[in-house]
Amino acid sequence: MVTRFRQMLTEAGVWTAHPAAFVLVACYGIAWFLFDRESLNWHGLAALATLSMTLVIQRAEHRDTQAIHAKLDELLKADKGARTEMREIDKQDAEAIERYRKKSHSQS
């Protein structure tokens, strides 16, 4: 149950980095303007701006992470001595990766 919840959180993070998330925020802002114009004041605009900036930051972080993973994957493919289990470690949840890293550091 906890593992599935962690997977869902990871998937939600990936989804918020998708360009469709920006469309959703724009639709939300338009719907807010159309249906409750009185409450769309400076505070509402600040909330929409904050949400948009959060998506921009999430998108940039996701792009950087994907680039790093691609580079590391290429290095692992090039190094014949690399352990093959490392290629799939990014499929694990964050806690499992941390446990693996701690175990790996204690062995060296």
Residues 6+ apart with CB under 8 A from 28: 48
pLDDT in tens, 6-53: 778 777 777 777 888 889 999 999 999 999 988 889 999 999 999 999
pLDDT in tens, 73-96: 788 778 877 776 776 777 777 777
Best CA proximity match to 52, nearest among 16, 12, 11? 16
Mean pLDDT of all residues in the chain? 83
pLDDT in tens, 21-33: 889 999 999 999 9
- Of all residues in the chain, the percent with pLDDT exceeding 90 is 25
Please tell me what DSSP assigns to residue 81.
Answer: T
54-to-40, 71, 82 alpha-carbon distances in Å:
19, 26, 37
